[in-house]
Amino acid sequence: MLKYVFKTLWRHRARTLLTVTGAAVAMFVYCFVGSVQEGLHRLTTGADADRSLIVFQENRFCPTSSRLPEDYARRIRKVPGVRDVMPIQVWTNNCRASLDIVVFNGADPKQIQQTRPVTLVNGDWQSFAGQRDAAIVGRNVAQRRGLKTGDQFSIGEISVQVAGVFASTVPAEENLIYTSLEFLQYTRGLDSAGLVTQHEVLLNEDADPDRVAANIDEMLRAGSVATKTRRKGAFQASTLSDLIDLIGFAHWLGYACVGLVLSLVATTTVMSVQDRIKEYAVLQTLGVRPLSAMRLVLSESMVLCLVGGVSGTVLANAVLAAGGFAIGAEGATIAFRPSLNLLISGSLISLIVGVAAGFAPAVQAATVPIVNALRES
């Protein structure tokens, strides 16, 4: 029977190829949309997002507009529940949404090594810590910009020596460039001596993040600059609020792609059955039972969906792995990464759509009136 199915599909090669290609393109787009949604979920959830706080200037959004005294770190460390504080100076080439955003984070190299989930792929920490204009570059940024250890990289007012390239268990980290705090503070044109963009607060295991955040803001209310402290995940969600709305709309685009595959394969299968209606009548006269005829048609639609859908899913994951894509705004980035979940969901959706698309034509083939079908010219 399977051999017969493949012969049937090969009989109309052009139609089969167009259907498979259409299904592949639709599932390719579906996987890209799914990758963006997964990236957003990873960025705003998890232990790192829930168990650390970001102290930012009140009523400020873009990193270039937040200017907090670096000395606030000393005061924040005294708040009960705070384990450590890392002052961070953030610089970005674009506060608006961009697919090629470059974000510098300036901090103490020792704190970066101790608190960030990063591992150097090449280069070494000594070179990074010992050279004032040294930087370690996230793997995605290095891939997009063609950077390697030893290169000089310049953008805007900033020029750094690449001391290493790092990978991270948190995909968004791989879209960052880390430098020393002093380098960004004293770079000509930034005028940030003694100031930082934000303070990242690491909490004790038993600390209540919301209570600690309220205590920090209350303590600093009498300072020179008012602050707004939030969980890291909530801070990043607020920073990317416009993109989150867009990604939420793109969710429907993913459903539309699945609907497109369903419509495309169903149309092709219906045309195939109608073209061979007499053939199915002959099969019934030879003893092929209605359920067997249904299985033939369902097998055709499933093969079309699986070949096209799985091809598009695999291709999308390959492009995501090779491209190192990310979108960001106001210093926060969402990484597009391939995942096993995308591979499994894309394959399962292709299988389910194949069954759904072939069900009605299969019923038609199984219930064709033999005499009427044989009389047709």
Q: What is the largest CA-CA distance in the chain?
A: 93
Higher pLDDT: 181 or 144? It is 181
* Interval 161-172 mean pLDDT: 89
- C-alpha 32/C-alpha 342 separation (Å) is 9
Q: Judge if 201 and 247 occupy the same domain.
A: no
**Secondary structure (H, E, C), 99-125:** CCCCEEEEECHHHHHHHCCEEEEEECH
- Which of 182-196, 309-323, 335-349 comes out lowest in average pLDDT? 182-196
Closest of 199, 196, 184, 204 to residue 232, by C-alpha: 199
Q: Judge if 294 and 352 occupy the same domain.
A: yes
- Summarised one tens digit per residue, pLDDT across range 257-277 is 889 888 888 888 888 777 776
Q: Judge if 100 and 130 occupy the same domain.
A: yes
Q: What is the pLDDT of residue 279?
A: 67
Q: Is residue 195 part of a domain?
A: yes
Q: Judge if 210 and 323 occupy the same domain.
A: no
Higher pLDDT: 81 or 99? It is 81
Confidence band for 97, pLDDT divided at 50, 70 and 90: low
Q: Is residue 345 part of a domain?
A: yes
Q: Give the sign of the dihedral formed by CA 33, CA 35, CA 36, CA 41.
A: positive
* Interval 159-182 mean pLDDT: 90
Q: Judge if 75 and 174 occupy the same domain.
A: yes
Q: Is residue 234 part of a domain?
A: no
Q: Judge if 28 and 164 occupy the same domain.
A: no
Q: Is residue 285 part of a domain?
A: yes
Q: What is the pLDDT of residue 53?
A: 92
Q: Is residue 235 part of a domain?
A: no
Please give the mean pLDDT across all residues of the chain.
Answer: 85
Q: Judge if 93 and 180 occupy the same domain.
A: yes
For the CA atoms of 81, 86, 91, 95, what is the dihedral angle to 10 degrees? Answer: -10
Q: Is residue 50 part of a domain?
A: no
84 — alpha (psi -120 to 50), left (phi > 0) or beta?
A: beta
- Which of 85-99, 217-231, 332-346 comes out lowest in average pLDDT? 85-99
- Which of 143-152, 315-324, 368-377 comes out lowest in average pLDDT? 368-377
- Summarised one tens digit per residue, pLDDT across range 49-89 is 778 899 999 887 777 778 899 999 999 999 999 999 999 99
Q: Judge if 200 and 254 occupy the same domain.
A: no
Q: Domain range for residue 35?
A: 2-43+242-375
202 φ, ψ (degrees, to nearest 5): -100, 135
Q: What is the pLDDT of residue 30?
A: 92
Q: Judge if 23 and 154 occupy the same domain.
A: no
Q: What is the pLDDT of residue 291?
A: 78
Q: Judge if 36 and 130 occupy the same domain.
A: no
Q: Judge if 253 and 309 occupy the same domain.
A: yes
How many domains does the chain fold into? 2
Domain boundary among the residues 197, 225, 253 is at 225
- C-alpha 145/C-alpha 43 separation (Å) is 23
Q: Judge if 35 and 130 occupy the same domain.
A: no
Q: Is residue 111 part of a domain?
A: yes
Q: Is the pLDDT of residue 377 over 60?
A: no
Domain boundary among the residues 225, 259, 284 is at 225
